[in-house]
Structure 1
Amino acid sequence: MINLVKNEWIKLFKRISTYIMLALIVLGTLLFAFLTQWIMNLNSENEIPDWKEVLQADIAFYQEELKNNDSGWYGDWLEAELAISEYRLENNIPPTEFDYSMWTFIDESSGIVNFVGLFVIIIAAGIVAHEYSWGTIKMLLIKPYKRWKILLSKYITVILSLVLMLTLLFASAAAIGAIFFGLGDHSAIHLTYENGKVVEQSLLFHLMRIYLLTSASAILLATMAFMISAAFRASNLAIGLSVFLLLAGPTITGLLSQHFDWVKYTLFANTDLLQYISGGVLIEGMTMEFSLLMLAIHFVIFIAIAFAIFTKRDVSA
């Protein structure tokens, strides 16, 4: 199995497109830094409000809202934000928007994960289909390996490519953020509200968690693209459908969720795991555990279809 994965990894890096994707991740992060710096320079001409006054206004708002919304996810969110805001005032810890630094830039760069997801979808869509289009599938299957091992090695390569790109994005954001915005004074602390009290956590750990949760959509769509590639041998179909769902899926799901509760069982109602951190749950009653279960079910379906068809198909077909 290790040799199979190694061979797939070597084949992946023989393609110039792989290096272009990696370069685009770094370039995209650099352009985002330039854009952020430009916007900050424009805003520097305006008077910057005192962060303590802003927090005091926020606290007054949260307290007023809690009088009428003390239950449900919104009430829980208000309670957490109120406690964290009061903790910041008491311990002289400004919000990140008032102490922009490398850490803030890494956090905001997590939006580029969708960009990474697009590249991984392209890799997943072609890793099996190209074997058919290039006529190398028969040479691959005559090797002394079971078909499921060959397919598994390809899927492991897809996941490894995602890990590589996420690591590159995180490292690029850290390096570029440090150069453009510095390390900051208080930014290495992340505040969270757990069991009725505010807890200080490592911001590095928190940001790594953010990147992992944000990549859920990329993992599931890459798996779906992999399934289509293995089942239908069509990379264009896999890329087209997966990219369409990556871009339009969350919007369509959001619109349907306003009218139908069954939407919570669909894929895109559960790929945004950050909703359980931000507090804006798509449908009342959804939890992190529920979404992870739904994602696991979709994952098993995609993988089962891919392996069932690939291991039984006649190569000459």
Structure 2
Amino acid sequence: MGNLIINEWTKLFRRAGTLVMFGLVILLVIGISGFSKYDTIKHPPQENKQWKQELEQQLKDDRAGLKEIGKNNANMKTYFEREIALKEYRIKHDMAPETEENVWSFVRKAEEVISFIGIFMIIVAAGMVSSEFSWGTIKLLLIRPISRSRILLSKYLTVLLFGITLLATLFILSTISGFLLFGLPEKEVPFLAFTNGEVVERSIVIQLVVEYLLSSIDILMIATMAFMISAVFRNSNLAIGLSLFLLFMGGSVTMLLAGKFEWTKYILFANTDLTVYFDGVPPIEGMTLTFSIAMLLLYFALFQILSFMVFTKRDVAA
């Protein structure tokens, strides 16, 4: 299996487009860091000495919202309880909200680039199998004394490895850029999370790593779907077009439906954002982390079964 993956990895990096993708990620990080630095120079952050008074006023609004809206909506009740707990914790422990840019705030800002990584993963996944048919190399690939399932698995693992490499590149590069341009915060800045009804302090570095990983779940699922379409229909254009549409529109459409129909919780995009279970509110009342993980595994298994079933039994003699 290792040799198959190395072979696929080598073929992937022989394409100029792959290097372009890495170059674009690097340019995006440099561009965001440059713009952020310019903005801090143009508009220097100023210390807000009235932050406690402002939080107190926001607390009044949150408590009113909890009383009026929270009693009829369990999700909004959780939202207001979280906001109230976080604000009260900041006031009690004299933890002013951050105003100055630092390496960790920039790394969080660079999370926006993950969407572009999703696009690149979709393009690679969509062409992994279909390109073999379009280039006529599929017969040369299948005459080797290796099972079709191992060949397909090596291609899928290469897609995952490609995505992980891009994600690691983004995280490392944004950390380096943030450190060079903004430096470390003057004092340790923990991340405040609302978990099991109480506020807990977490390491900001560990929190950012978790955020990057959780933010990649939706692009992992969409890339897996693109890979499945490529294996089933042998059409990279269909795989890219449909996957990109769902990547950008799937979540928005799902959220619109979530306010009206409870069955929306069974849609893939209602379950891809697992961060809501650690630091937020689920889109539909009654949804749990276990439920969302189960739905993700179900969709993942469906995509893989279709991919392997069709690819291993397809006649490529024609």
Worse-superposed segment, 4-13 or 47-56 = 47-56
Structure 1: distance between partners of 2:197 and 2:284: 24
What does the per-residue CA deviation read over 1:95-135, in whole Å, with 9 as the maximum and x for residues that have no partner?
Answer: 23x24311111112212211100000011001111111111
Which secondary structure does the structure 2 equivalent of 1:127 belong to? helix
2:223 is matched with: 222
Structure 2: distance between partners of 1:129 and 1:222: 14
Structure 1 residues 20, 144: CA separation in 2 closer, same or farther (over 3 Å shift)? same
Shift, 1:33, TM fit: 2.0
Worse-superposed segment, 251-260 or 150-159 = 251-260
Shift, 1:262, TM fit: 1.5
Structure 1: distance between partners of 2:97 and 2:278: 17
1:285 is matched with: 286
Whether the 8 Å CA contact 1:99–1:187 is kept in 2: the answer is no
What does the per-residue CA deviation read over 1:142-171, in whole Å, with 9 as the maximum and x for residues that have no partner?
Answer: 111110000000000011111101111111
2:248 is matched with: 247
1:59 is matched with: 59
Code of the residue aligned with 2:155 in structure 1: it is: K
Q: Which runs of 5+ in 1 are unaligned?
A: none
Shift, 1:233, TM fit: 1.1
2:157 is matched with: 156
What does the per-residue CA deviation read over 1:45-93, in whole Å, with 9 as the maximum and x for residues that have no partner?
Answer: 8895633333333333333333343672322232233222222233332
Structure 1 residues 123, 227: CA separation in 2 closer, same or farther (over 3 Å shift)? same
Structure 1: distance between partners of 2:90 and 2:45: 26
What does the per-residue CA deviation read over 1:235-286, in whole Å, with 9 as the maximum and x for residues that have no partner?
Answer: 1111111111111111222222232222211111222223334424222222
Kindly, what percent of the aligned residue pairs are identical?
A: 43
Which secondary structure does the structure 2 equivalent of 1:198 belong to? strand
Whether the 8 Å CA contact 2:4–2:151 is kept in 1: the answer is yes
Q: Which runs of 5+ in 2 are unaligned?
A: none
Shift, 1:316, TM fit: 2.0
Give me the TM-score of the superposition, normalised by structure 1. 0.92
Structure 1 residues 187, 38: CA separation in 2 closer, same or farther (over 3 Å shift)? farther
Shift, 1:18, TM fit: 1.1
CA RMSD of aligned residues (A): 2.1
Structure 2: distance between partners of 1:247 and 1:104: 25
Whether the 8 Å CA contact 1:73–1:279 is kept in 2: the answer is no
Whether the 8 Å CA contact 1:228–1:234 is kept in 2: the answer is yes
How many residue pairs end up in the alignment? Answer: 316
Answer yes or no: is 1:87 the counterpart of 2:67.
no
Whether the 8 Å CA contact 2:90–2:96 is kept in 1: the answer is yes
